[in-house]
Structures are given as structure tokens and as C-alpha cells.
Chain A
Amino acid sequence: MTMDRETLKQKLKEILVSGLRLQDTDPASIADDQPIFVEGLGLDSIDALELVVLIEEHFGIAIPDEEVGKSAFASIAALAEYIGAERDRAG
């Protein structure tokens, strides 16, 4: 299944809100370049573990370690870029 970057970003915002149970956040209100953790959406490193698993489940893309996670989770745009690039590489 191919998905352009814009659709991918929307999908990621929905996964973030439903998967991490951010009831008070509207997916549309998350900016593409907003940091996902701590300073941005206020999620912590434990939420990151859950997000790693969610990304693997939804896209079949592994975030193998902390270093990759740090850059991939910088923002929704960065995460979409990472997933897109990994898919292109696999595909």
C-alpha cells in the first residue's frame, strides 16, 4: 500500500491520538513540525515505547534503537519521512 507523505502524516496524528489515548487532543491540531515528546505534546519516554510498537504494528517498520527513535520521533514530519524512506528502501 502506498501512501503519500501528507496522508501518512494525517494517519500518524490519528495513531498518536488514539494509540496513546490523548483524549483532549484533536489530531488536526498537531503541527507537522511540533516535537512529539516532552516539550511538544508532552509525551514521555515510556509513551515512546508504545509508539515504537504502534508504528511497527501499523506500518511494519521497526524503530530498532534509541538513536533511530530520537531522530524519527523529532516530529510528525520526521516520523513520516523515516517511515516513507524505510518503505522505499524495502520496496
Chain B
Amino acid sequence: MSPTVLAGRRALVTGGTRGIGRAIALALAAAGAEVTVTWTHTAGDAERMRAELAAGGDRHEVSRCDVASREAVADFFRSRTGDRAFEILVNNAAVTRDGHLMMLSDDAWNDVLATNLTGPFLCLRPALRGMIARGFGRIVNVVSPAGIMGKAGAASYAASKGGMIALTRSLAAEVAGFGITVNALCPGVVDTAMTAGIAKEARDAMTARIPAGRLGRPEEIAHAALFLVLPHAAYITGATLAVDGGLVTA
């Protein structure tokens, strides 16, 4: 991708220090955007990411911000208005606290919804004001096949992602007139630190269900995210783009 296609655009990627978020942030930076990534629990990854982004210039930023915290998000956005407002927002930060619903604690349920669904809401609210002021915005919400198909043992995670798909469609219609697009990006099973921890047998069984016959690579997800935020993608909004090797449609 040309290093100028997103020149002068400011992008925020939440949960952007590892895995899919990291790949998206690096792709946006490579396309010329000024990238800010946030992290919550991944101090080591944040340091590595800071070095990695710094190698591409000094316009980038790595900042701690728990999107589940109303106060932290308000603090984070307080200084990022006007010229410092974001034109691109990738809501990627997410957590899982799996368990059978009947046995799920209030905390486990609330934590997942707070980060995965309320977190994007808290970030979108201030970010939209800057985008409306500029008449340009690109929002990408990272969701999951679980949000479409459901997933046994992960009802809270699936509900949060299904909620994000509905939020995406609703918001897309609300702000389409302002030059803002809102899309959901739905990665299938991707080869990250999270999936690397899965036992070989389970991993093989998972791979067997994917028509493409392999896991996805973070760079492949990032490529789709980049496509959605390009100025030329102005007429794509409210969509859920699956990048899953055929998993959901199989």
C-alpha cells in the first residue's frame, strides 16, 4: 500500500499492541496514518509496539486506556479534539471470560459486555463529534463469527459481538450523511498468541472446519481493515465483512 494513501489521517486502534489490533495498527501506519494504539493489560507488548511504531516515525503513540472505564476513556479523549481528533477508529479491544451461562458470574458477564460493547460506545461518542465536524470518518468494529453463529460456552462474548454488529448497522444509518462509514470486520480463526495456546488436537479440529483449510494470518485481517478505511471505500457502510476462509458461510 502506498505510504501516502492515509497521509494526514489520525487513527485510533483500541487493544492495538498484539494480535489482530497490532497488525491493523501497523498496516494503517504503513499507509501513512498517524496511529494511536491503546492497551490495558499488555505492558510488555505495549513497549514492543512503541518501538515498532517508532521505527516508522515519531507521529505514533501508544497509550494506556481501559475502554471499559468511563473515566479513562473520557480522560483519553479530553486532549484529542480539534486538530488532534481521530478520523479513523478501529474498535478492536475485547476480552473473553468463557463459561457455561448457567454458571456464569455477574462479574464475568459484566466484564465482557463492559469492554466489548460498552467500550466501543464510550469511544464512539467523543470520536463521532470530531468526525462530524470534519465531514469524514471511518469506523471499523472488529467482531467475531461467534456474534453471528453463537458459541457454546461463550454466550457473553457472542452477545457482545452480535451487539456490535447491530450497533454497526444502526450507527451506519445515523451518520451516513456526514461522510462517515461504519463497518464490522469479522475475522475467523486467526493465528495469534491466543490461538497458539490451544492444544494441537483442538487446533486441528478447528482447522478442519475452515473451508480454506488453514487459520487466517493477522496481516490478512489488517488488509481488510485498511480497505474499509480508505477514502475510496466511502460507499461501503453498515456491512459485516467476513475474513474467515469461508468459516461462517460453510
Residues of A within 8 A of B (CB): 46, 49-50, 52-53, 56-57
Contacts and interface: CB of A to CB of B under 8 A. Distances in A.
Contacts, number: 16
B178 A50 contact: yes
A56 B133 CA distance: 9
A56 B132 CA distance: 11
Contact of A46 (B128, B133, B174): B174
Nearest to A62: B129
Chain B at the A interface: mostly helix, strand, loop or mixed? helix
Nearest to B173: A46
What are the 3 closest A-B residue pairs judged by CB atoms, nearest first? A53-B132, A53-B133, A53-B129
B132 A49 contact: yes
A57 B133 contact: yes
B177 interface: yes
Contacts of B124: none
Interface of B: 128-129, 132-133, 174-175, 177-178
Contacts of A56: 129, 133
A46 B133 CA distance: 13
Nearest to A47: B177
Nearest to A64: B125
B143 to A, nearest CB: 24
A46 B177 contact: yes
Contacts of B178: 49-50
A9 to B, nearest CB: 23
A89 B175 CA distance: 32
Contacts of B133: 53, 56-57
B67 to A, nearest CB: 19
